[in-house]
Amino acid sequence: MNAARVIPTDEGRQAADAETARRLGTLISSILIDLGYKGLTSEQIESYTSEGQTQNDRRFTDALDSLPYIALNAKRSADAAEALVASIKTDPPP
């Protein structure tokens, strides 16, 4: 797809996004037809495609929102590991 080959300018971003959405819709329509969903209207296919894109965007946003929490917990884990190592005596028992 073009998204892998072309990086649009800021001026062409909207047109590039529209073209990517069109191609994605065509791909999903072809997949649905191959799977046997021949009775779907173009509106139903567009609705299915839009819902999938919405869910994908929501998951991506949720993943981005979780990054600070992941970083905070990784820092806490590292601090706890350092404290544990510091508390262990280096001298072997007699």
CA–CA separation, 12 and 88 (whole Å)? 60
pLDDT in tens, 55-66: 888 898 999 999
pLDDT in tens, 9-49: 888 888 888 888 788 878 877 887 788 777 777 777 777 77
Helix (H/G/I), strand (E/B), else coil: 92 = coil
Domain boundaries defined on the chain: 2-87
